A and B are shown apart, each in its own frame.
Chain A
Amino acid sequence: MKDLKQVIMASAGALVLATILAGPATSAYPERPVTLVVGSVPGSGPDVLARSMSEEFSQALGQPVIVENKPGAAGNVAAAQVSRSKPDGYRVFIGTINMAIATWLPKTPPFDPATDFAVVGRVASIPNVIVVSPKLGVKSIEDFIAMAKSKPGQLNYSSPGVGSLQHMGTDAMSNINGIKLVHVPYKGGKASTTAVLSGEVEMFMAGMPPAIPHIKGGTLLALAVSSAERFPLLPTVPTLAETVMPGYSAEAWYGLFMAKGTPATIVETANKALNKALSNAMVIERFKAAGAAVQTSTPGAFAKFVATESSRWKKNLEELGLAGTR
């Protein structure tokens, strides 16, 4: 009988122990700090957005949110790492449109944005804006196209790199309108903006954040935005679609991603917290100052959007002969 008693005691003990051990897995996510991974240096576009919402995201999650910068390969070093991290929801990546573009450049793509992540939700979108120096003497995008037609192959444009959204966008605009511009790549959007300011190049299809202080300060002239609708921060600036590129729209988007295989309940919890943080007036205001418009979504809708974007830019890079070349 003594033996049986011991067995019962041992099993009871084991059961208690098992409950304790299993506790973390079944109890509510999150129960320790969450890391928000940024794929670029502090001060970059995604970093500003991550830090602008980390406080409110943390309040909504009920746990501290730590921003971690892991720069490299246009954010893809961090993206690849998060996609392969433990699927427990504690490493969240603030992904950008570069996930859907830059991943197709190397010979072996580091990941497929559509299938290698658990998609949490959309954060914001930032359209591109075509800027020129006020000294160039053009007042509208039509003027600029006309000038480019009269000087074929003489005007230069900057971009943050071969195969960037800005490069592909300008290339598409040139093809549709039958103009010839010379591409001058720079290291990043800020250097590309400086090139227009100094007159080294004539035009830049800029991301909003580096351009907006100069548009407001009058040192750069905004000719058109790349979003489907006019951008709330620049209501008087027409879209490319309503002027020289009918039907065209392309925006830099931002969203949160977790490792492939993260349980749906965790993704749901994070999505709700994210959307709550993004509804905060302070966050909206800070995003606005950075040139971004807050956008929310369900995990499913954003996942579908990412898949569409991924195939769109993959195709575009293939047409340019850039896919799988690095």
Chain B
Amino acid sequence: MGLLDNISLGFEAAFTAQKLLYCFFGVFMGMLMGVLPGIGAMATISMLMPITFYVPPDVGLIMLAGIYYGAQYGGSIASILLNLPGTPSSAIICLDGYPMSRQGRAGPAIFLTTYASFAGSFFAIFLLLTVAPLAARLALSFGASEYFSMMILGLIAAASLAQHGVLRGLAMVIVGLILGLVGSDVASGTYRFTFGTLELADGLSIIAVAMGLFGVAEVMANLMTGQDDRPQSGTVRIRDLVPTRADMGQTTGPIARGGVLGAILGILPGTGASIAAFVAYGFEKRLSKTPEKFGTGHVPGIVAPEAANNAAAQAAFIPTLTLGIPGDAVMALMMSALIIHGIQPGPAVIQEHPSLFWGLVASFVIGNVMLLVMNLPMIGLWVRILTIPYRILYPIILVLVCIGVYAVGNSVFDVLQLIFFGFVGYLMIQIRLEPAPLLLGFVLGPLLEENFRRALILSRGELSIFVERPISAGLLFASLAVVILSMVRLRSNSKSPDVPAGGR
């Protein structure tokens, strides 16, 4: 069957009143829950999954998928407006999105992230349509050594996340890596730093860490400064909502690069939207001619990660549907919804249920268009959130964050972690340490260690495994290249007449 046949089959399957309705419901709920801090796709899908038992499997799947990618759209809105990520994968959007909001450019920022979400998703959908089976094979060619080398590349690329100096950034990455040690060691099964509590056996909760460091800490810091209760004037003019021509001019390259990175990381099981967003930001800053602008409300700093996390969310469907390998917890949930309906996800899905597969892909297109159309007129509404006085807004935020963190594991212990990391984050703000590199270390650390040790078990202790396998060697070479390039740039900078030799 040709590509066009597939597409027309897909749209034929997706254009029924019921499917369009469920698609709309899914993306709407996903976006809404994505905006609410702490309540992400996982919580929403587990809450709404019972609905899928009463509709045909393809309809249910379209709805669940809509929640998943819809949440990626919504996640960045709270990051921009309140420096409070709606989902962990949009934590990085805070770095440049929140400064834009402070400069009164919240409208354009949301406009741009919506546009980047849309473009990133479309890029990944295009991949799904054209090279899905081929792309799926990429997932299988990644073994332990490849994952390790990719994590190294990710860490190096993202070492530039630091805004207050490299040393502080590296220190925070290391703190994150150490926090990632908490829990069961995969290679031996031993519990590490669990202090005898079963609750820590699976490690710290990523949502509690992310929401605590970014959200709760931000709320506390703002309360302590005792600033004006009404942060922005109540009027929002339409022309304040639309980005300038100069803004738009800066988007193409970052979105394209973010889309490619996101799609690749999304296909690989175990990595995912959060890592994609971090790495895309890091790469963009590395490649930029003006890296010093990042962190001050620079447009590429929001569009690249936003394109990446949406592309990753969309591409994550490729291994799930074509290989039966779920890339993350949400995908595993979706697989089980299919299984309950008697459909076995796996290599046979495209052949056995072509209208389900292509219908789902077509629904991605429809859902993304819905999200775009729905989001642009709503920007004014979102921006108005900023006019809510803090004394009303902050209690609402704290309650929502607590609910969101609790809902993930129905665990009070996770809420305690949230409070703990809220205090830690507040202290970090006071001594100018940044949460983003810490979160990156926390996300990458466990994967890095697990795959390093697994690769060594497989090679019977030979370190050469990392350079003998071509993909792994290529990734390590790329890491080296990034390091050398930045050193060259550093040298040429110090040679330039503006900066006296010998540094600052």
A105 to B190, CA, bound (A): 9
CA distance A110 to B194 in the complex (A): 14
Measured between alpha carbons, how far is A51 from B339 in the docked complex, in Å? 11
A72 proximity list for chain B (CB < 8 A): 198-199, 201-202, 409, 411
Residue pair B348, A185 in contact (C-beta under 8 Å): no
Q: For B333, list chain A residues within 8 Å (CB).
A: 41-43
User: Is B381 close to A, CB under 8 A?
Assistant: no
A289 close to B49 (CB less than 8 A): no
Task: Tell me, yes or no, whether A224 is within 8 Å of chain B by CB.
Answer: no
Q: Is there an interface contact between B339 and A290, defined as CB atoms closer than 8 Å?
A: yes
Which one of B141-149, B158-166, B235-243, B294-302 is at the A interface? B141-149
Quote the shortest CB–CB distance from A324 to chain B (angstroms).
Answer: 12
The distance from the CB of A42 to the nearest CB of chain B, in whole angstroms, is: 4
0/1 string, B37-62, CB within 8 A of A gives 1: 00000100110011001000000000
Does A182 belong to the interface (CB within 8 Å)? Answer: yes
Tell me which of A77, A156, A162, A191 contacts B269 (CB under 8 A): A191
A161 to B143, CA, bound (A): 18
Q: Is A212 an interface residue (CB 8 A)?
A: yes
Cross-chain contact A216 with B344 (CB below 8 angstroms): yes
Tell me which residues across on chain B come within 8 A of A285, comparing CB atoms: 342
Beyond A55-B53, A182-B457, A185-B189, whether A77 also contacts B339 by CB under 8 A is no
Does A149 lie at the interface of the complex (its beta carbon under 8 Å from any beta carbon of B)?
Answer: no
Count of interface residues, chain B, beta-carbon cutoff 8 Å: 53
B484: interface (CB < 8 Å): no
Interface residue stretch chosen among B126-134, B259-267, B318-326: B318-326
The tally of residues in A whose CB lies under 8 Å from a CB in B reads 58
Task: State whether A326 touches B189 (Cβ < 8 A).
Answer: yes
Given contacts A48-B336, A190-B326, contact A200 B143 (CB under 8 A): yes
Q: How far does the alpha carbon of A222 sit from the alpha carbon of B201 in the complex, in Å? A: 33
Task: List the 6 closest A-B pairs by CB distance, nearest first.
Answer: A162-B189, A43-B333, A73-B201, A213-B346, A213-B344, A43-B332
Binding site for A on B (CB under 8 A): 42, 45-46, 49-50, 53, 139-144, 184, 186-191, 196, 198-199, 201-202, 269-270, 323-326, 329, 332-337, 339-340, 342, 344-348, 409-411, 450, 454, 457-458, 460
15 chain-A/chain-B pairs, Cβ below 8 angstroms? A42-B42, A42-B46, A43-B335, A44-B336, A52-B340, A68-B410, A80-B198, A107-B196, A108-B196, A184-B457, A191-B269, A197-B325, A214-B324, A217-B348, A326-B190
> Which residues of A are at the interface with B, using a C-beta cutoff of 8 A?
41-44, 47-48, 51-52, 55, 68-74, 76-77, 80, 105-108, 110, 156, 161-163, 182-187, 190-191, 193-194, 197-201, 209, 212-214, 216-219, 285-286, 289-290, 322, 325-326
